[in-house]
Structure 1
Amino acid sequence: MRRPQLLHLGGRPRQHAEREPRHRRFCRSSVALTVGLLLTGCAGGVEPGDAASPGPAALPEGVAVEIVQLRADVAVRQAQVHIVNGSDADLEIGDVAVDDPRFVAPATRVLPGRTSRVPAGGEVDIRVQLPDVACARDDVEPSEPTVALGFTVDGAAGTARVTADDPLGFLAPLHERECRAAALAEAATLAFTGFMPAPTGEPARLELTVTPTGGGSATLVAVQATNLLDFGPATVDGAFPLDVTVAPDDIAPIVVDIPILPSRCDPHAVQEDKRGTIFDVRLTLAGDPGEIELFVGDALRGDILTWVSSWCGFAGTP
């Protein structure tokens, strides 16, 4: 400023015809951003050191930029810079850097050094890796992210800095959750540490380990069900109660066995799972309620999805 993945990488743009459903989702913000680009793009310029080869300082009129995070991006803590080229000129996008005061550093391409061609009338998603959140900067007012783009148009290279919209509104909640997780780490660390499958009709066991760190207190209230897994008869208001309290002088780990059952048995849900093994944990810190997200990890995710396939009785593995 964390599945099988179905999203294309930044270097592989799609045409409007291929992405029509998603384009409709973003069209309203894209129109608004086009106006914003006319205002903010002019403030961008060629980076120092490029004076010998001056290029355009603004993107062509009609280019819109957004930053989005889809379900497949959550576990790997990535996002996508979504660029719609509504101009009449083909674009090539090089370096990408998303700057936001809620992060300790800019978010940059997952695959550095790549370029992405965006033909006139086309669009592209460029995946970026999110850096750590900046939790000690309470004095910084939240603001829209800005994106620095290295680009080439009509054979001329330039650099533009534009304001990007967050149409799905993911940045503020992500910052809040991860800063709460950092505060929780002063009292305890949480991790899913084991999984024991069960025969069809019976709940499996997911092991949650709470390890006190001696630096504070916290109360873990409940683990919420996901779109793929719930807790069967142990479900209370869509969650499994934990009622675990950690005090500053606690040192012994606390292990909680969580019963889990598939909440759905259609193969599509497993084969295209993106968030089924990311659990929201409700907690209280310093008297303030909140939530964090806790991923089971890649190894346990594979074990759980394989078990769901077997438990549900359909062929194939996720």
Structure 2
Amino acid sequence: MEGLSVPRRRRTVFRTVFRTLCSAASAVAVLGAAASCSTDTGGGSAGTPSAPTAAATATSAGPVTVELNQFRDNYSNQIIEIQLTNTTVAPLTVLGAELSTPLFAAPIAWPATAGGIVLPPGQTKSLPAPLSAPECNSTGASRGVPGDETGGTTRTTGSAQVTLRLAPPAAAATDPATGPTTAEDPFGVLARNNAEMCLTREAAAVAAFALAPDLEVAADGRTAVVRLLVTPAAAKAGGTGGAGAGELVIDRIDETTLLAESPVAPWPRAVTVRAGGAVAELRLGIRPARCDPHAVAEDKVGTLLPLRITVAGREGVLKIAAGDKLRGQIYDFVTTACGRQ
């Protein structure tokens, strides 16, 4: 701007800044409009007006992005989280969310409450969704991988798609629906749960596993014994499944965040269980795995006993939950034993 007087130069700079701000405001207006309307997905011809919908194209840049997760206290409940993020500048009300994936036989739905849930602009909310039955023969299903720290699962997730129902604007007569939107699964939640649930199904065909409800505490209170009860299933008459059919192997039993193996009563390894066999009891000597003040207060999975097993060509972790009575006794034991150290 050489040659311009100071007043004129200031006016030129002001006009440039003004145009920039106007362009930004227009972009925001367009984004807000995109949150409330999109291409018709009901089969109408191109250009035909329809009830407003939200991001029918459902790309990752749409008004709502989707990611999957699972909270630790829901591991044993087989509940995952459908996490929705509102990327628009206006609140959106979600009335329903349904996840479809070849890893599970039926859609996985969030049991919505009346009125749905409001997603404020730029915020994320987690919707708990109970898993359906696993699809164990799907090409998208995963099998255990020895040594995998996630419990013996691959990261294969197949295609996970989420369909949402959003509350309509005041002038609309029907609920708009998105989708399907591709759900990101960065932690392999679907593959891990599929592998664990399929492993549980195969194991149940061989035997039932449970923890006895009473804890046997040593006289000095420093160690205790947990009893793992194994009840084999009835053998199938005329079974011709070949070697290994109708049996599983407990390769080892892992320690938990709360319980460790007692050196005076080592845990068994390489235990073979066969359908039609006798009921067995495995005695597991335990000691506290940690004694910090948060060990019991913040426990989520410390009373889930992880059995590393091999069954029907699968390898993975079978988690045996302590009942309410045993869980309380374990917490009392850990608290007392830590106090005596």
Bin of the TM-score, shorter chain as denominator length: 0.7 to 0.9
Aligned to 1:151: 166
Look up the SS of the partner of 2:214 in the other structure: strand
Q: Which structure dedicates a bigger proportion of its chain to strand?
A: 1
> Any residues of structure 2 matched to 1:26-45 within 5 Å, and which?
45=41
Aligned to 1:285: 311
Structure 2: distance between partners of 1:248 and 1:303: 32
Aligned to 1:18: none
Give the RMSD, CA atoms, in angstroms.
3.0
Which deviates the most, 286-295 or 209-218?
286-295
Q: Greater relative contact order (Cα 8 A, min sep 6): structure 1 or 2?
A: 1
Q: Please, which runs of 5 or more residues in structure 2 have no aligned partner? A: 1-33, 44-49, 142-155, 237-245
Distance 1:235 1:148, change over 3 A: farther
Look up the SS of the partner of 2:178 in the other structure: strand
C-alpha contact (below 8 Å) 1:46/1:158 kept by paired residues: no
Task: Quote how far apart the aligned CAs of 1:110 are.
Answer: 4.6
Aligned to 1:307: 333
Structure 2: distance between partners of 1:281 and 1:187: 14
Task: Quote how far apart the aligned CAs of 1:126 are.
Answer: 0.9
Structure 1: distance between partners of 2:253 and 2:196: 15
Aligned to 1:204: 224
Task: Quote how far apart the aligned CAs of 1:139 are.
Answer: 7.4
Task: Quote how far apart the aligned CAs of 1:45 are.
Answer: 4.1
What is the CA deviation profile of residues 137-162 of structure 1, one whole-angstrom value per residue up to 9, with x for unaligned ones?
Answer: 34779523111111126545311121
> Any residues of structure 2 matched to 1:240-259 within 5 Å, and which?
240-250=267-277, 252-259=278-285
C-alpha contact (below 8 Å) 1:89/1:153 kept by paired residues: no
Structure 2: distance between partners of 1:174 and 1:125: 18
Structure 1: distance between partners of 2:328 and 2:128: 24
Structure 2: distance between partners of 1:173 and 1:97: 19
Look up the SS of the partner of 1:219 in the other structure: strand
Look up the SS of the partner of 1:246 in the other structure: strand
Look up the SS of the partner of 1:190 in the other structure: strand
Please point out which of 248, 252, 256 is paired with 1:218: 248
Task: Quote how far apart the aligned CAs of 1:292 are.
Answer: 2.0
C-alpha contact (below 8 Å) 1:46/1:159 kept by paired residues: no
Aligned to 1:184: 203
Q: How many residues align?
A: 266
Structure 1: distance between partners of 2:247 and 2:168: 56
Task: Quote how far apart the aligned CAs of 1:62 are.
Answer: 4.5
Distance 1:284 1:195, change over 3 A: same
Structure 1: distance between partners of 2:191 and 2:39: 26
> Any residues of structure 2 matched to 1:13-28 within 5 Å, and which?
none
What is the CA deviation profile of residues 292-317 of structure 1, one whole-angstrom value per residue up to 9, with x for unaligned ones?
Answer: 22222344223322332233339xxx
C-alpha contact (below 8 Å) 2:306/2:319 kept by paired residues: yes
Letter in 2 for 1:160: T
Letter in 2 for 1:212: P
Look up the SS of the partner of 1:306 in the other structure: helix
Aligned to 2:129: 128
Letter in 2 for 1:55: P
Aligned to 1:273: 299
Max radius of gyration: which structure?
2
Structure 1: distance between partners of 2:39 and 2:282: 54
Aligned to 1:295: 321
Which deviates the most, 216-225 or 188-197?
188-197
Give every structure 1 segment of 4 or more consecutive aligned residues whose post-TM-superposition deviation is greater than 6 Å.
41-44
Aligned to 2:290: 264
Aligned to 2:81: 80
